[in-house]
Structure 1
Amino acid sequence: MLVKIVERVKEFSLPGKAGLVVILVVLLVAILAPYISIHPHNISSGPPLVPPGGGHPLGTDELGIDLWAQICYGARVSLLVGFGTALLAALGGGLIGIVSGYLGGWPDKVLMRLIDIMIVLPDLPVMIVLAAFFGPSLLNIILVLALFSWVFPARIVRSQMLMLKERSYIKSAETYGAGVWYLMWKHFLPEVFPLVAVNMIRLSGRAIVAEAGLSFLGLGDPTSKSWGLIIHHATNFKGIYYTDFWKWWLLYPWLALIIMVISLAFISRELERMVDPRMGR
């Protein structure tokens, strides 16, 4: 299994390999946050608004909290929200797509109309309302983001199912008495999993940006120290753009967010090319 993964990674283009390296570095930073951050991420450890250097590699914020420690722990929040949302949305949307495509008839029509409604809804305003209603916690944010993300894998999996169920080996299995669960585990899931995996990577980047947006608007978990929340506190500081504070307080979390999302986009592009070789032509 490991050999196959390594062989697949070797097929990545240079941007894809760079994106994979960045995500692995972010993952290590999130795991090793207590060991690589000298100072705590939630209490003051020095004078306020200290520029980068000395005991604070990326400087401090207005409360004297080390910015490097906040970014290290913020990586945990971004990964948790991104992959947690993607996992819930991909599993839920994938199962709905399988059921809709295989059964057809009125269940398919009902589910497709629901998907159409979810697509035309303005997701950001509704997410803001729901996040404000349910309260600022990471679990609520993940659930709200997953609620607006499952439609994309559902549509893709449904379209794949419409082709799969007409294939001869599926018809033969049904003739010999194969049930829905047997077909799902033995035939449907192995066929649609690559598509779901690609969507998970894409949804992870989307969820990370959405969480940062909600935190920027003050609707994120105030105890999480996410990258969006750091940017929220920085932009709310009076005169931030009339001073040099933005050069570290605002710039570094913004760069971390942008680099991570771009890296996920590169990886998603490489996986799409592997799933659909026509993209590489």
Structure 2
Amino acid sequence: MNRSKWKNLQSELFTNGLGVAALAVLAIFTLGAIFAFLSGYDPNAMDAMARLTKPGAGHLFGTDDYGRDYLSRALYGGRVSLLVGFASMVVATFVGVMVGVISGYFGGWLDNLLMRMLDIIMSIPSFLILLLLSVYLKPSIGNLIIIIALLMWMNVARVVRAETLTIKEREYVLYAKASGQSSFGMIWRHILPGLVPVIIVGATNNIASAIMMESSLSFLGFGVQPPNATWGSMLNSAQGYIAEAPYLALFPGLMILLTVLSFNVLGDILRVGFEPKLIRR
């Protein structure tokens, strides 16, 4: 990637108010998750006498129906949600890039085979895949990452394949191919570097999608199991207390909203930074 693109990227990212705000939000949530132990409370410690305490000086986010400090649970829950989102993105991106590059570069029967397999998998409702996987995989962070990655890699593969088809027809790639470079050398030296902008932008958006999926799965009970918290499981637990203690849904809901929105904003800014000729919204 040339310097001009990096300069465009930096200019878009650090001179855009929304971009700076998105980075600030993600930095705060990430630091909060890393240093969650500084909250001063055990996220799983129950106190029947402090049950459903409203937000105040003693408990900034209040307490839940078991008397557990809600701020500490939100911070530790954010650690799990962000970890699952990032790890799922990495796995989905790796698999999607490999399949997309192989399909787009080699073409022919291999491309047709991989794309038809992709069409078949994508035609199956995600919820059905989720139910099938939940039967064989016990709820855990590792299995949650696998499930989310399996639901996301197909879109990555399609985008990467389309970009690979474009890159492999460029003059410098055709010249390198004519000079006798191996297929592996072509992919490593010419195709993958050209895919970096697409991969980065896609990865940013995929983290947001993964966090939403994690929240949805945890909300439905397929995610990390109690007493451990994630933002989605906190929303699930808050269902029965919306009228009595609305803050139980408000805080994790806001964290999910702000995190997903921030990643989506960064994705849009990165896209414009890598491709400055795009029409700005």
SS at 1:150 equivalent: helix
Give the alignment of 1:63-82 within 5 angstroms: 63-82=66-85
- Measure the CA separation in 2 of the matches of 1:57 and 1:132: 39
Structure-1 residue corresponding to 2:232: 228
Q: Aligned-residue CA RMSD in angstroms?
A: 1.9
AA partner of residue 252 (structure 1) = F
1:203 equivalent to 2:202? Answer no
Do the aligned residues in 1 keep the contact of 2:12 with 2:270 (CA within 8 Å)?
A: no
| Equivalenced residues, count | 273
Q: 1:47-103 deviations in whole A, cap 9, x for unaligned?
A: 111111131111001111100000111111111111111111111101111100111
SS at 1:59 equivalent: coil
* TM-score, normalization by structure 2: 0.91
- Measure the CA separation in 2 of the matches of 1:128 and 1:15: 38
SS at 1:98 equivalent: helix
Do the aligned residues in 1 keep the contact of 2:242 with 2:249 (CA within 8 Å)?
A: no
1:145 equivalent to 2:148? Answer yes
Do the aligned residues in 2 keep the contact of 1:131 with 1:141 (CA within 8 Å)?
A: no
Structure-2 residue corresponding to 1:43: 45
Give the alignment of 1:7-86 within 5 angstroms: 8-12=9-13, 13-35=16-38, 37-45=39-47, 47-86=50-89
Q: CA deviation at 1:186?
A: 1.1
- Measure the CA separation in 1 of the matches of 2:234 and 2:12: 37
- Measure the CA separation in 2 of the matches of 1:118 and 1:16: 35
- Measure the CA separation in 1 of the matches of 2:114 and 2:150: 14
Question: Equivalent pairs: percent with the same residue?
Answer: 34
Structure 2's unaligned 5+ residue stretches are none
Do the aligned residues in 2 keep the contact of 1:97 with 1:158 (CA within 8 Å)?
A: yes
SS at 2:50 equivalent: coil
Give the alignment of 1:1-281 within 5 angstroms: 8-12=9-13, 13-35=16-38, 37-45=39-47, 47-223=50-226, 224-235=228-239, 237=240, 240-243=241-244, 245-246=245-246, 248-281=247-280
Do the aligned residues in 2 keep the contact of 1:118 with 1:148 (CA within 8 Å)?
A: no
- Measure the CA separation in 2 of the matches of 1:160 and 1:5: 20
Q: CA deviation at 1:193?
A: 1.4
Do the aligned residues in 1 keep the contact of 2:63 with 2:70 (CA within 8 Å)?
A: yes
Structure 1's unaligned 5+ residue stretches are none
* TM-score, normalization by structure 1: 0.91
- Measure the CA separation in 1 of the matches of 2:135 and 2:37: 31
- Measure the CA separation in 1 of the matches of 2:110 and 2:210: 29
Q: 1:184-224 deviations in whole A, cap 9, x for unaligned?
A: 22111110011011111111111111111111111111143
